[in-house]
Amino acid sequence: MVNDFLGTGAVILGLAVITVLTRGFFILPRREIPLPAWLRAGLRYAPLGALAAIIVPGVVMNGDQLTPTLLDAQIAGALAGIAWFAWRQSVLGTIVAGMAVMLLLRLGLGWA
């Protein structure tokens, strides 16, 4: 029991130290760290790449398989969100439109 507590505490402490070091790497120095232009340009696309890596598999996959049909509430909701963003360029509206379409199809029409 005590060994489990100490082991868990050590893991939590180690993760906290790693998190502070990796996230504080850009904050802790007193002066700005010079980055090459190619790295600075590449870092502009990192948030978009991370978002796509999270969202796309969640939309086009059911469990561990690709969605077999386009008649899927998640795909329809994603398309509605994309259309809303193209029309209004509102992030909140995109979320609301996508979720509304997905919920209407799932609850109203019984789509998967």
Q: How do the domains of the chain map onto residue ranges?
A: 1-34, 46-112
Count of residues for the chain? 112
Q: pLDDT per residue over 49-102, tens digit each?
A: 888 898 889 888 888 888 888 888 999 999 999 999 999 999 999 999 999 999
Angle between helices 46-60 and 73-88 (to 10 degrees): 140
Dihedral in degrees, nearest 10, Cα atoms 23, 52, 105, 69: -140
Residue 77 one-letter amino acid: G
Model confidence, pTM: 0.61
Whole-number pLDDT of residue 2: 62
Strands (E), 35-75: 61-62, 65-66
Please determine, for residue 110, whether its predicted confidence score (pLDDT) is greater than 90. no
Q: Which residue has the higher pLDDT, 53 or 32?
A: 53
Whole-number pLDDT of residue 86: 96
